[in-house]
Amino acid sequence: MTTGPSTGTNPSTGLAAGTTGSERRAGDAADVARIAVQAASLVPGVSVVRPAAVRLDDGSVGLDLHLITWYGHSVPTIAETVRAVVTERVAAQTGLSVAVVTVTVDDLLVPGVDSSATGTAAPEDR
């Protein structure tokens, strides 16, 4: 922790002056979660994505994601596609090695019945 005002960035780390490694790791976890959610949201059949955990460890990351999917899509196929897309996107955008992506499907929405429940359009409405 710094005791006075600080300005600028540390050229060796790219961090704002006075930023600790733990603050940077928290920022990295939030960035990884954002990238993972955006990537998973692109998979057909996925309605909602929530990051449950991001574990950073010396250049690698583990992710736990919770999904809500649409009825009519194969849950195993969605889960495997989410794993692949998230792994590729997180690695490409962060340079981290993705050790594991755990996908949990929390709910299954029925088109025409649940479209107003999540605030997202049913697949046929997109």
pLDDT in tens, 19-40: 334 444 556 999 999 999 999 9
φ and ψ at 21, to 5 degrees? -60, -40
pTM for the predicted model, two decimal places: 0.71
Banded pLDDT at 41 (limits 50, 70, 90): very high
Residue 113 has what pLDDT?
Answer: 85
Instruction: Quote the CA–CA distance of 108 and 47 in Å, as a whole number.
Output: 9
Average pLDDT, integer, range 96-123: 80
pLDDT of residue 114: 79
Mean predicted lDDT score pLDDT of the chain: 79
Q: Please, what are the domains in the chain?
A: 21-109 (3.30.70.1350)
